[in-house]
Structure 1
Amino acid sequence: MSTQDQQPDKKTPFRWSRVVLALSLALNLLVVGTVAGVVVRHERPHPEAREPGSDLLAYGPYGFAFDDDDRDHMRQMLRHEVGQLRENRRAVRRDFDQVVAALRATPYDPALVQNLIEQQQARVNAQADHVRDLMLAQIAAMDDEEREEFADRLEALLRRGPPPRHHDYDRD
């Protein structure tokens, strides 16, 4: 055999775009899952019993800037879609199962994994876009005075940062 016939296997270069895509998907899933969990809850716990920062994770400063009535209205709107939100969450979970199976498959098919992750990302983005549109509609429904108050609360939140976290071990 000649040396030309014995070429070493070429390794595929590491692709950062896949890592970034996967991390972006994970972050989006965290945000959307938190938004759906916080907004769709049927009972609103006492403020002391709520997970500190749950609103921040759900909406960031925008969520804190909405008054209680606005947040209640958005929750009510999402409650009408609870079935669709749950089905989307199940579909995202099924997508993860398919990705895990594709990662373990031999031979590995990078195009399949990319396609599955992109499909999952599209589901997450659609849900995040829906929540964003709901928030924008709530803002658009405000009169000038309400919008001014919202802007004042948002500006104050941005100036001072998120509310402090209160942990049980801080209450000794």
Structure 2
Amino acid sequence: MQEETETKRCPLWIKIVLALSLALNLCIAGLVAGFVLRGGPMAGRAPAMGYAMPYVLALPRELRRDVFKAVRNDDSLPDRRARREEYRDMIKALKVTPFDAAAVEAVLLRQGDGVSRVQTASQAAWLEAVSGLSDEERAAYTDRIQDALNRNDRPKKGRN
């Protein structure tokens, strides 16, 4: 006597779902691998380094904190709430029909004034911190600035 064994087959729809899932996973893995191998979204483009960044980043950690704290605690500067309000004002001005360029310009001027005041306060705090350095500390500090600038000037891999 032969025993008949019944083998259950996997339904076709499960095979299709598994194949699609595998294909999607391979696509995502390929995208991630390509992203990593190319160097990320900024590959070939150096980030914009503002004028102050090399100066600030080269400061010793405690002085850098002092500069940021001085600016953060300056009540005469626009706070986060005030900056958000300016953005809301800009959105309102941009939505007006017909377009009122003068209203948009007024918001830009107020935002520019806020940026200028923050920059002035930041420069004053930075100058105070640097003024307190000894000659040797200032020499080491300028070496760190130069190192930061040299790192930014080096050609990046894959850039011509």
Tell me the equivalent position of 2:53: 60
TM-score normalised over the length of structure 1: 0.52
Distance of aligned partners of 1:92 and 1:80 in 2 relative to their CA distance in 1, 3 Å threshold: closer
**Per-residue deviation at 1:91?**
1.3
Tell me the equivalent position of 1:22: none
Distance of aligned partners of 1:119 and 1:108 in 2 relative to their CA distance in 1, 3 Å threshold: same
Tell me the equivalent position of 1:94: 85
**Per-residue deviation at 1:100?**
0.9
Judge conservation of contact 2:58–2:141 (CA < 8 Å) in 1: yes
3-state secondary structure, aligned to 1:161: helix
Query: Quick one: which of 66, 74, 82 aligns to 1:73?
Result: 66
3-state secondary structure, aligned to 1:93: helix
Q: Which amino acid aligns with 2:70?
A: M
Tell me the equivalent position of 1:158: 149
Tell me the equivalent position of 2:129: 138
Judge conservation of contact 2:71–2:121 (CA < 8 Å) in 1: no
1:1-172 maps to which residues of 2 (within 5 A)? Answer: 59-78=52-71, 80-81=73-74, 84=75, 88-161=79-152
Aligned-pair Cα RMSD in Å: 2.7
In structure 1, what is the Cα distance between the partners aligned to 2:118 and 2:84? 14
Tell me the equivalent position of 2:158: none
3-state secondary structure, aligned to 2:79: helix
Q: Give the structure with higher Rg (CA).
A: 2
**Per-residue deviation at 1:90?**
1.4
Q: Which consecutive residues of structure 1, in runs of 5 or more, have no partner in the other structure? A: 1-55, 163-172
Judge conservation of contact 1:88–1:123 (CA < 8 Å) in 2: no
- Deviation by residue 1:98-134 (Cα, 9 ceiling, x = unmatched): 1111111123211111111111111122112211221
Judge conservation of contact 2:71–2:118 (CA < 8 Å) in 1: no
**Per-residue deviation at 1:85?**
7.8
- Percent sequence identity over matched residues? 26
**Per-residue deviation at 1:86?**
8.3
Distance of aligned partners of 1:87 and 1:158 in 2 relative to their CA distance in 1, 3 Å threshold: closer
